Amino acid sequence: MDMQNKRVAAIHDLSGVGRCSLTVIMPILSAMGVQACPVPTAILSTHTGGFGEVAFQDLTDYLPQALSHYQRLNLDFSCVYSGFLGSEAQIDHCLAFFQAYPDALAVVDPVMGDHGRAYRTVTEGMQRRMIELVGIADIITPNLTEAALLTGSSPDDSPEAIMSRLETPNAVITSVPGGEDEIGYLARLNGRVLRVHKPKLSLELHGCGDVFASALCAQLLNDQPLPDALQKAADFCDGCIRKTAQRQPGHWYGLA
């Protein structure tokens, strides 16, 4: 298939400022040759990680309407890729999206929290239902906090133990501490455990997970085998982090 005909239904929020979710996912998918079709779950003035009180417009009712239109058009998607969700009901709408396109690559980034804590918009109900959504995915990309939340693990459990409790066919855990000054990815791809380590820079960057997961999606749709897709997406994300670190004046949010 012509790459430009590969469409991704990208079910994520649109945060105006902060360089995360759709504002980074769309350009990365596009630049890597696949058509990014945004299905916004919410519109926010900024992401929720440090800009104070945000303007938040929930788009829960929009999701089934968009799906129903795409079905009337007999439009196909090569991939359905979900991320940050604005309400518990959106999990049902996401499930409907994945079920409507059973042949599409199902990528779930279970965006729920970081640094051992859930984001403030993520309720306990959402955390419980996210386990259901993860259950239908071909591949998931939780960070270590999210992997712990999904498996009822303590954040102090070893990444390997947490990984062994994840039941999806393929999982990549991001933000896994490596050796000294290293951070990396712990993956289980078709039963094979892989690790990719990168130098840890002293930057706190929101949206890294979105940069990584969207690059991974694009690489998989570009017919890269899973381990190659993982390596390429990790290299791409690391390159973005390095560029960001070189920028002057620096900024604390998002990747350059």
Q: Which residues bind ligand PXL (CB under 6 A)?
A: 13, 15, 20-21, 44, 47-49, 84, 111, 119, 206-207, 209-210
Q: Minimal distance in Å, beta carbon 44 to ligand PXL?
A: 5
Q: Between residues 48 and 145, which has the closer beta carbon with respect to ligand PXL?
A: 48
Distance CA(195)–CA(156), nearest Å, equals: 19
Q: Minimal distance in Å, beta carbon 145 to ligand PXL?
A: 11
Distance CA(151)–CA(222), nearest Å, equals: 31
Q: Minimal distance in Å, beta carbon 121 to ligand PXL?
A: 7
Q: Between residues 78 and 211, which has the closer beta carbon with respect to ligand PXL?
A: 211
Are 107 and 82 in contact, with CB atoms under 8 Å apart?
yes
Q: Minimal distance in Å, beta carbon 250 to ligand PXL?
A: 19
Distance CA(220)–CA(84), nearest Å, equals: 21
Are 229 and 216 in contact, with CB atoms under 8 Å apart?
yes
Q: Between residues 20 and 108, which has the closer beta carbon with respect to ligand PXL?
A: 20
Sign of CA dihedral 145, 134, 2, 68: negative
What are the backbone angles phi and psi of residue 188, rounded to the nearest 5°? -125, 110
Distance CA(136)–CA(15), nearest Å, equals: 26
Q: Between residues 143 and 168, which has the closer beta carbon with respect to ligand PXL?
A: 143
CA angle, residues 228, 33, 110, in degrees to nearest 5: 65
Q: Between residues 48 and 87, which has the closer beta carbon with respect to ligand PXL?
A: 48
Q: Between residues 38 and 207, which has the closer beta carbon with respect to ligand PXL?
A: 207
Q: Minimal distance in Å, beta carbon 114 to ligand PXL?
A: 7
Distance CA(12)–CA(82), nearest Å, equals: 6
Q: Minimal distance in Å, beta carbon 74 to ligand PXL?
A: 31
Helices (H), the chain: 22-31, 62-72, 89-100, 124-134, 144-151, 159-165, 208-221, 226-246
